[in-house]
């Protein structure tokens, strides 16, 4: 028997070798989660760590979970090779380089933000970023909106997020429920059609004459098994509360319960005011004591981004509206312009786009805030990968999982469109920004240029224009 070819033999990597590969991806991977996941797949298959089929399974499971696709994929591979500790180590070394860069940018942001060339560079970043988000939305819509109801669902997700201020979790849950509901309706419709086709013609006829005496309306019904004979009436149903207790007794018990509840309500309203005053004073003292504790700010950052990470479906761009609502509107950790710059920094730096959280956390509370934001936004998806990764790998082909994904994809498309609108409002202030966004869209969609190169090129070009010709005054957007 001939030996198997060498390329078909899988090799189990050493832990140090596997972590070195994750560190390399985190330090040199540009273009966002899907681009980095493609690089990881080529690397793992080239080293014969995974077969092509195993990597496809890994990529599928990674996109079923919240968080970045590449981060989840590396965590799942680490879980397969070395268990929970391997998954945590893979994610840690992968996000470490980009976290350090983002924290450094956040700490230096205040000193360099007023420089004219830096302002032009960031303006170019922001314009290109809008084009990239629109391109990502367009691509995902092309592949995921294959039915008319999915397009309607995507439009509803956009409207609910922008106009109804719905949270990411609400949009995601609504999309999943819509997918399950449509699948159930389609299944019921197919079943009815199948039954209608196999039904015999005589079973479809309906008698229009009044029922004869002795039928179900007038007496005994005809026995379908013995034509011409009358079947006995059905026996009374057994079980249930009505068979155990008389109806009069049930009514009496209900009236007594209503009287008791009414007396209790009157007694509560007749309570003396001093008791109520003492209770209110105790609540006030408790609130004052809690406020005096003044927990560290990085804990608020940690739990805020943990909540964001739990619903971060579809990668970094889909959670832009939620990040904006939490960091800009609710907690006021950064301004709207700083937020647009943070998203741009997350795109031009290597590693996952979700590392934008490190910039926001560092602007809120320095290095502890940046580390806490990183742990929060990547920690929850990591735990879900460890707990549910193997289960999803077994159940990913189930009908209900596929139905949920058919509703989840349009919801993600709608959220990405909402993210593009939010970034347009925050990062584009003149006609040149619109031109850069349009050029970036064409470069990514038509010519397949690396998104990180597009962003860097747009920022560098606008900064060069400012250096050579001064500030270009175009018509500002109102």
Question: Do the domain assignments include residue 29?
Answer: yes
For residue 427, what are the contacts with CB-CB under 8 A and spacing of at least 6? 123, 125, 126, 127, 129, 130, 337, 340, 341, 343, 344, 433
Mean pLDDT comparison of 77-91, 385-399, 456-470, highest-scoring range: 77-91
Whole-angstrom Cα distance, residue 448 to residue 97?
A: 26
Question: Do the domain assignments include residue 289?
Answer: no
Question: Do the domain assignments include residue 243?
Answer: no
CB contact at 8 A, 168 and 318: yes
Instruction: Please choose, from the candidates 318, 371, 322, 381, the residue with its C-alpha nearest in 3D space to the C-alpha of residue 70.
Output: 381
The pTM is what?
0.65
CB contact at 8 A, 120 and 53: no
Question: Do the domain assignments include residue 99?
Answer: yes
Residue scoring higher pLDDT (238 or 184): 184
Q: Positive or negative CA dihedral for 458, 464, 466, 470?
A: negative
Instruction: Please choose, from the candidates 106, 40, 99, 33, the residue with its C-alpha nearest in 3D space to the C-alpha of residue 67.
Output: 33
The answer on pLDDT for 316 being more than 80 is no
Which residue reads 């924290």 in tokens? 103
Residue scoring higher pLDDT (61 or 248): 61
150-179 tens-digit pLDDT: 999 999 999 998 888 887 778 888 998 999
- Mean per-residue pLDDT over the chain, rounded: 78
- Lowest mean pLDDT segment, chosen from 203-207, 301-305, 435-439: 203-207
For residue 379, what are the contacts with CB-CB under 8 A and spacing of at least 6? 306, 309
**Domain total of the chain:** 1
Question: Do the domain assignments include residue 250?
Answer: no
CB contact at 8 A, 322 and 316: no
pLDDT at 244: 41
Question: Do the domain assignments include residue 197?
Answer: no
Residue numbers of the domain that contains 31? 12-188+297-469
Local confidence band at 262 (pLDDT 50, 70, 90 cut-offs): low
Question: Do the domain assignments include residue 204?
Answer: no
358-416 tens-digit pLDDT: 999 999 999 999 999 999 999 999 999 998 876 776 776 788 888 887 888 888 888 88
98-136 tens-digit pLDDT: 999 999 999 999 887 767 888 888 888 888 888 888 888
268-277 tens-digit pLDDT: 455 555 444 5
Which residue reads 């004869």 in tokens? 212
Q: What is the DSSP string of 248-278?
A: HHHHHHHHHHHHHHHHHHHHHHTS-HHHHHH
Which residue reads 């996109």 in tokens? 63
- Classify each residue of 122-136 as buried b or exposed e, where b means 16 or more C-beta atoms within 10 Å of its C-beta: bbbbbbbbbbbbbbb
Question: Do the domain assignments include residue 198?
Answer: no
Tokens of 88: 């945590």
- In the chain, the percentage of residues whose pLDDT exceeds 90 is 27
Q: What is the DSSP string of 430-458?
A: BHHHHHHHHHHHHHHHTT---HHHHHHHH
How many Cα atoms are found within 13 Å in the side-chain-facing hemisphere of 423?
A: 33
């Amino acid at each position: 028997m001939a030996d198997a070819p060498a390329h078909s033999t899988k090799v189990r990597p050493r832990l140090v070798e596997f972590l070195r590969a994750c560190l390399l991806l985190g330090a040199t991977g540009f273009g966002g989660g899907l681009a980095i996941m493609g690089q990881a797949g080529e690397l793992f298959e080239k080293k014969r760590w995974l077969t092509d089929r195993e990597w496809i399974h890994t990529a599928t499971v990674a996109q079923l979970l919240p968080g970045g696709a590449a981060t989840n994929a590396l965590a799942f591979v680490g879980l397969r090779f070395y268990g929970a500790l391997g998954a945590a180590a893979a994610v840690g070394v992968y996000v470490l380089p980009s976290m350090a860069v983002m924290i450094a940018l956040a700490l230096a942001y205040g000193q360099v933000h007023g420089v004219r060339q830096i302002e032009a560079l960031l303006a170019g970043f922001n314009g290109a970023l809008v084009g990239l988000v629109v391109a990502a939305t367009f691509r995902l819509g092309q592949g995921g909106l294959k039915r008319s109801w999915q397009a309607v669902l995507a439009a509803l997700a956009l409207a609910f997020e922008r106009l109804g201020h719905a949270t990411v979790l609400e949009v995601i849950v609504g999309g999943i429920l819509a997918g399950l509901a449509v699948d159930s309706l389609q299944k019921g419709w197919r079943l009815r059609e199948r039954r209608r086709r196999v039904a015999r013609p005589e079973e479809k006829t309906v008698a229009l004459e009044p029922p004869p005496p002795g039928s179900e309306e007038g007496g005994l019904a005809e026995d379908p098994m013995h034509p011409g004979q009358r079947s006995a009436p059905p026996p009374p149903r057994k079980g249930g509360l009505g068979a155990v207790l008389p109806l009069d007794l049930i009514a009496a018990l209900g009236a007594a319960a209503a009287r008791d509840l009414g007396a209790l309500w009157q007694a509560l309203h007749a309570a003396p005011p001093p008791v109520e005053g003492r209770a209110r004073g105790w609540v006030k003292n408790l609130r004052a004591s809690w406020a005096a504790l003044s927990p560290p700010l990085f804990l608020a950052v940690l739990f805020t981004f943990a909540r964001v990470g739990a619903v971060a479906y579809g990668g970094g761009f889909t959670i832009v509206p939620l990040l904006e609502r939490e960091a800009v509107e609710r907690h006021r950790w950064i301004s709207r312009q700083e937020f647009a710059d943070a998203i741009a920094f997350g795109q031009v730096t290597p590693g996952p786009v979700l590392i934008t959280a490190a910039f926001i956390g560092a602007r809120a509370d320095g290095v502890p805030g940046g580390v806490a934001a990183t742990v929060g936004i990547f920690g929850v998806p990591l735990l879900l990968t460890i707990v549910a990764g193997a289960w999803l790998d077994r159940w990913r082909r189930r009908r209900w999982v596929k139905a949920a994904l058919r509703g989840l994809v349009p919801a993600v498309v709608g959220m990405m469109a909402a993210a593009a609108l939010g970034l347009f409002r925050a990062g584009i202030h003149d006609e040149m920004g619109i031109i850069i966004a349009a050029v970036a869209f064409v470069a990514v969609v038509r010519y397949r240029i690396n998104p990180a190169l597009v962003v860097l090129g747009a920022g560098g070009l606008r900064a060069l224009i400012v250096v050579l010709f001064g500030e270009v005054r175009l018509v500002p957007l109102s």
